[in-house]
Amino acid sequence: MLKRKIFIVFGFLILAFLAFMLIFGDLGGFVSAIFRNPKSMGAATPSSSFLAKKITKNIMAKDAPLKILEVGAGTGVFTQEIINKIGQNDIVDVIEIDYGLCEILNKKFKNNKNVNIHCVSILDWEPGYKYDFIVSGLPFNAFDSFFVSNILEKFKNIIIDNGVLSYFEYALAGKTKKLFLFGDEKLDLINNIKMRKEFLKKFEFDRDLIFLNFPPAYVYHLKIVKNS
């Protein structure tokens, strides 16, 4: 009974927020992507500007050109915040697997010479160089543990030594999802969470809790030291 009440309340809040955004914001592309592939989206709602500022807070323009990767860009909330922080010679590669969202991103940023939109899976992306910063909006709790393991390994391979990886997840998302899973699916999620905790223990140097996002979210900042 308690699980059902939690689910109903959480669902009502999401529907209320989506209704607000449909009236007052540009949510069409985001909702369409959820219906096309809900698992790959994973996000309940578009990320807030507060979350965008925190997840990109380590990015600062330097004398040498920066190479920045954003993965799972959605409608470009994080992308715009990255653009606000970079220099004129910096490179921003944006990875988004959903073709509809790629069209939105291409339209939004077509006049920005720093930004390159790539409609491809991160596991298939071969840039030919390494990144100073990686910003990820991928929904790790929505994926199986093997897929997440491959993504984290990919990040390690394409980032420079001491490069910074930042990603977010909704507060209590893993624990809440476990309430509705059984058998092998529940075991896989437990393994997924355990693996990411070990990854954080090895590389995390900072963490933020963003209340002004729906749902509230944690942002994790990791410095990837290659010889550790």
Rounded to whole angstroms, the Cα distance separating 168 from 218 reads 5
Contact 148, 197 (CB under 8 A): no
Q: Kindly state the average pLDDT of the residues 102-112.
A: 95
Residue 127 has pLDDT above 60, yes or no: yes
Rounded to whole angstroms, the Cα distance separating 221 from 167 reads 7
pTM for the whole structure: 0.83
Q: What is the phi/psi pair of residue 20, to 5°? A: -60, -45
3-state secondary structure of 124: helix
Residue 23's pLDDT band, with cuts at 50, 70 and 90, is very low
3-state secondary structure of 103: helix
Rounded to whole angstroms, the Cα distance separating 79 from 158 reads 19
The per-residue pLDDT for 9 is 58
What does the block give as tokens for 114?
Answer: 């720093």
CATH superfamily ID and name for 2-224 = Vaccinia Virus protein VP39 (3.40.50.150)
Q: Kindly state the average pLDDT of the residues 149-162.
A: 98
Of residues 40 and 120, more confidence is placed in 120
Q: Kindly state the average pLDDT of the residues 58-78.
A: 93
